[in-house]
Chains A and B, each alone.
Chain A
Amino acid sequence: MEPEDRVIVAIAGLNALIGALDRDGYRVLGPTVRDGVIACGDISGVDELPAGWSDEQDGGRYRLTRSGAETIFGFTSGAQAWKRFLHPPRQRLWRATRDGDRVRVHAEPAPDERFAFIGVRACDLHAIAIQDRVLTEGAYPDPFYTARRKELFIVAVNCARAGGTCFCTSMGTGPAATSGFDIALTELPGEGGSSFVAQAGSPRGAALLRDVADRPATAEECAAAEAIVARTAASMGRAMPDHDLRALLLDNPDHPRWDDVADRCLTCGNCTMVCPTCFCTTTEDSADLSGTESTRTQRWESCFTMDFSYIHGGSVRASSRARYRQWMTHKLATWIDQFGTSGCVGCGRCITWCPVGIDITEEVAAIAQG
């Protein structure tokens, strides 16, 4: 099968794909309904996917709804980005044991888990590519991320609907999955249930597709799939203002809008936890009571905490104005200097999960107004 070839995969074929990945030793993860939200978790078959579910999202608001259709991927981004598997919230780094004055440091072994992600959206493909740059392409790559990433198998899904807070079109990151996947699917709703127009993005993906596809897709089916994605792009309600964001933010560190947003921002850090590209971490040391063993653990950290910029005597960014400015300026401006790409993929999570509904596109627009 050639990479540009499209094939039709039925629901049973998707089920077979999940089964094949499982047999190949992958831990298969996909969207499931949990506690009133879509969350990623272990799945063993298509019937665990959120068929019939959709969502309503807006600034500070998320509600799971019945879609009235039996489509499997009718919802959009959930709170959890895939980073929680590749760059987990907690990660032990090493353990030290002490015998008198002799100390030995035992490095945590590199993880050997192989993940298969089912249902990765275009924005999140870009987010993974961005974290690849941050965590694997510097002088000191993160070996744990690198190991997990190297084994990762990705089944992408093209979005059939724009979520209420999505703005990927304006960031050039979606809604179509164009690279960075092993297999990409577009769901075609049908009378007797959905089927998928599928495309391979890697030799591994092509080999698996060959086993689970029904038949080649017709020209009409391919056109229908493209029309679905085009409709999603056209119906997106939000957009990042079309500006040189890097110059805009670097030129405006003293804009009055920072005071305005500081009045609303609770510095809770939700936006950084849900953002699929935020990568910052801190470390914690613990010792057992006898003092013979100690452990260092890495965990996610947010630039919205006071500790983040603490140096003896106080925090460098003590005001919420400075902390919001740091987050947004990093995301949209200095990230470009550091990694050659924006740090935002337009997934809208920070807008949905901000308790006060602060909208990054609105904040940019206000600054752009001068």
Chain B
Amino acid sequence: MDQMAEPRMAHPLVPRVAHVRRRWRDGPDVWTLEIEDGAGSGFMPGQFNMLTVFGVGEVPISLSGDPADGNRIRHTVRAVGPVTRALARLRPGDPLGLRGPFGTGWPTDALDGRDVVIVAGGLGLAPLRPAILQLLARRDRIGRLTLVYGARSPDQILFARQQDRWGRRSDIEVAVTVDHATSPWRGYVGVVTTLIPRAVSDPANTVALVCGPEIMMRFAAAALTDAGLPETAIHLSMERNMKCAVGLCGHCQFGADFLCRDGPVFRLDRIARRLALREI
């Protein structure tokens, strides 16, 4: 056993302590935390951190801020259960535990010269926001850029003000649809996949980045392939239960892949067969 790693190494399951700087509401039950992460070392768009509320628990949450912002990171959390509710209750100055960043990111460095279609459903826009910000910061390097976004209803639209600002720019096309319209809504109604065909003009030169509920991603992947994109040009961010984020706890297995290590972002050709199976 002499070749084994040093036994006194830092335990990968021990979090560092960081503090909330600011928080704001970004939708019903959705809060964004800005966190000062002194020990942070940057991240790739699409990666996530494990966030601990001391005494409550730990959950995976995507980085939703601008990768250029250094140690001031953002997480956007929907309060759905004990840990996310406790995260959403944190106030400026409150401590939290943090491990990461973990996982594969969106292939934003490999998009030069390509058209990019971003397909997001609901909170799925959170892990895509850093990719959009990064692409906008080097906008001249890519071709057509389109965001196709679907939400349940107009009041559920994530980052609504920012999406409005993006919509007024000429270098990104934004198409938003809702499942159920309420009165002042004058935009699209229907599932997000119906907006995909018009977002693709040059399928052989287009790359798609997709994140949303698994069912929506299945349909989005089909719509994108129907629009002529090869499976190798479609990237999806998957979701599975996750406890350790370092490939030790076994929870996040998706076929042979550990989502925390081999994902969460996968190229469709790697997972297409599994994606078609239920309860994998």
Q: Which residues of A contact B (CB under 8 A)?
A: 93-94, 96, 98, 101-105, 107-108, 110, 134-136, 138-144, 146-147, 149-150, 152, 253-254, 279-283, 285-287, 291, 294, 296, 298, 301, 303, 307-312, 316-319, 321-322, 326, 330, 333-334, 337-338
- Selected from A93, A136, A291, A303, the residue in CB contact (under 8 A) with B55 is A291
- Selected from B5, B93, B239, B279, the residue in CB contact (under 8 A) with A317 is B279
Residues of A within 8 A of B4 (CB): 136, 141, 146, 149-150
For the complex, count residues of B whose C-beta is within 8 A of A.
47
Residues of B within 8 A of A310 (CB): 241
Q: What are 16 of the A-B contact pairs (CB < 8 Å)?
A: A105-B14, A105-B15, A107-B11, A139-B246, A283-B58, A285-B56, A287-B55, A291-B55, A296-B58, A301-B243, A309-B241, A311-B239, A311-B240, A311-B241, A316-B240, A326-B280
- The minimal Cβ–Cβ distance linking A350 to chain B, given in whole angstroms, is 16
Residues of A within 8 A of B58 (CB): 283, 285, 296
CB-nearest residue of chain B to A307? B241
Residues of B within 8 A of A298 (CB): 13
Task: Tell yes or no: B39 within 8 A of A by CB.
Answer: no
With contacts A281-B248, A312-B81 taken as known, whether A108 is within 8 angstroms of B11 at the C-beta atoms is yes
Task: Tell yes or no: B95 within 8 A of A by CB.
Answer: yes
Contact between B97 and A105 (Cβ–Cβ < 8 Å)? yes
Residues of A within 8 A of B152 (CB): none
Contact between A138 and B251 (Cβ–Cβ < 8 Å)? no
13 extra interface residue pairs, beta carbon distance < 8 Å, beyond A146-B5, A283-B57, A317-B279? A93-B11, A94-B13, A96-B55, A107-B10, A107-B14, A281-B243, A285-B52, A285-B55, A296-B58, A298-B13, A312-B80, A316-B280, A338-B256
- The minimal Cβ–Cβ distance linking B76 to chain A, given in whole angstroms, is 15
CB-nearest residue of chain B to A112? B7
CB-nearest residue of chain B to A279? B250
Contact between B16 and A281 (Cβ–Cβ < 8 Å)? no
Contact between B249 and A301 (Cβ–Cβ < 8 Å)? yes
Contact between B8 and A143 (Cβ–Cβ < 8 Å)? yes
With contacts A93-B13, A312-B80, A317-B279 taken as known, whether A303 is within 8 angstroms of B250 at the C-beta atoms is yes
Give the CA-CA distance A241 to B31 in the complex, in Å.
54
Task: Tell yes or no: B255 within 8 A of A by CB.
Answer: yes
Give the CA-CA distance A138 to B246 in the complex, in Å.
9
Give the CA-CA distance A286 to B82 in the complex, in Å.
13
Task: Tell yes or no: B54 within 8 A of A by CB.
Answer: yes
Give the CA-CA distance A108 to B75 in the complex, in Å.
28
Residues of A within 8 A of B55 (CB): 96, 285-287, 291, 294
Give the CA-CA distance A136 to B57 in the complex, in Å.
25
Give the CA-CA distance A294 to B241 in the complex, in Å.
23
- Selected from A282, A285, A322, the residue in CB contact (under 8 A) with B279 is A322
CB-nearest residue of chain B to A103? B95
Query: Which 3 pairs, one residue from A and one from B, show the smallest C-beta to C-beta distance?
Result: A287-B55, A280-B250, A322-B279
